[in-house]
Amino acid sequence: MTRREWIALIGAAPVLKAADAPAAPVSIARCASYDEDVTAKLAALFDQLGGIEGLVRNKTVTIKLNMTGSPGTRVQGQAPGVTHYTHPKLVGATAHLLGRAGARRIRFVESAWATGGPLEEVMLDSGWNVRALQSAATGVEFENTNALGKAKRYSRFKVPGSAYMYPAFDLNHSYEDTDVFVSLAKLKNHATCGVTLSLKNCFGNTPASIYGDDAGADEPNESPTKGRGEVLHRGARQPSKSAPQELHFGSSHEAEYRVPRIVADLVAARPIHLAIIDGVESIAGGEGPWIRGVRMVKPGVLIAGLNPVCTDAVAAAVMGYNPRAVRGTAPFRKCDNTLLLAEAHGVGTTDLKRIEVRGVPIEQAVCRYDS
C-alpha cells in the first residue's frame, strides 16, 4: 500500500478496525448457467459453510433480493434475472434449501422501484413465477419494503458505534421481525460504489416512503413513486422528520462519498447473517440498464458466506479487483470502498489472507469485469 493509499484509507475509515473485524469462510461454486441444477450447487455451498440448519431451523428468515430499477427497464430486452436482478431460479433454490433446513417462515423482501405496491406484482412484471416461489417451501411470504407494508409502524435500527452518515434508520418491519437476515445479491459493478454485492444490496433496505425524492417532509409518504436520489445520493434534503436525520447534513453532496458510507451504516445497523451472490450471469460496467456501456457477462459462479464483508471481498476478487483497493483505484476509481468502510465498522474483514475460501479457489473463478 502506498502512502497515498494509506492516507486515503484513513480518511475513508475514521476508526480503523480491520485487524479486529471478524473473518468467516466463503464458498465458491461453479454454475455455468441457470439451466444447471442451481439447487444442488447452492446446497453444496451451504454444506461447505458447515450447513445452514443451525442458522435457520425453526426461524423466520428474511431474504433481501436485488431487483434494482423498474422491471420494465432491461438490458437488450433480456429478462432482468440474467442481467441485473438476482435470478428467480436462485431465489427459488434458496427458499427450497432454507425450507429443507427447517426455516419456519421465509420472507422475500425488496424495496421495489418507485412503488409501495405488492412485491409479488413486481416479480410478475419481472417475469418471475410467483406461484413457483410460493411453493418452493412452506411459509413463503413477500413484502415490498419500500413503504410501511403490512405493519403499523417502522422499525428503528441504530448504527452501533460512530455512524458515518445516519445515527439510525427507519425501515420496514420485515428487517426487524426476523431471526435471520440474508442478502441475496448479484455480482455487478456499480456506477456510484464500484461494486454492488451483498453489502450494497442493503442500500435497498431503505424505504422510499422516508428516504425517497417524494418522501413526506414530516411523515412518510406511503405511496412513493420515486428513487432516493435527493435524500441519500445527493443529500439535497433530509428524510422525513419522523426518521433519524442525517448527522452532518450539507457537508457532502457527493454520491460517491455518501452512498458507500450509508451502506456501511446500514449493514452495521441491520447485520447480515448469510450472504449469497449470484454470479452465474450478470452485467459489467454498472448496476443496471440505465448505466451507459453495461455489458452482459457470464462469470458462472455462485458465492456464499456467513460474513458479508468477507463474502464481498472474495466476490470482488473474483471480479478481478483488489477488495482493499482505495479511492482512485479500480473498481473504486471515483468512490470510497464500501467494503473497507464496513470493515472499519467492525462488520467483517476484507483481508483475503484471513478469509478461508472453500470450493473453487478464487484464481480459478476469476472473471475480470474490467476487461
Would you tell me which residues interact with another protein (CB under 8 A)? 69-74, 76-79, 113-114, 117-118, 121, 124-129, 131, 223
H helix or E strand, kind and range, residue 305:
strand 301-305
Shortest Å distance, C-beta 117 to another protein: 6
Residue 370 has phi, psi (to 5 degrees) of: -90, 0
Please state whether beta strands 140-144 and 105-110 pair in parallel, antiparallel, or not at all (unpaired): parallel
Shortest Å distance, C-beta 330 to another protein: 26
**CB closer to another protein, 129 vs 238:** 129
**CB closer to another protein, 223 vs 364:** 223
**CB closer to another protein, 162 vs 223:** 223
Shortest Å distance, C-beta 77 to another protein: 4
Shortest Å distance, C-beta 124 to another protein: 3
Contact 351, 324 (CB under 8 A): yes
Largest Cα span, the chain: 55
Shortest Å distance, C-beta 220 to another protein: 17
**CB closer to another protein, 143 vs 265:** 143
Shortest Å distance, C-beta 280 to another protein: 17
**CB closer to another protein, 127 vs 160:** 127
Residue spans of alpha helices (H) in the chain: 3-12, 38-48, 53-56, 88-100, 119-125, 130-134, 208-211, 255-269, 308-318, 338-344, 362-365
Contact 188, 84 (CB under 8 A): yes
Distance CA 299, CA 281 (A): 6
What is the residue whose three cell numbers read 451451504? 46
313 burial level (CB within 10 Å; 0-12, 13-18, 19+)? buried
**CB closer to another protein, 296 vs 330:** 296
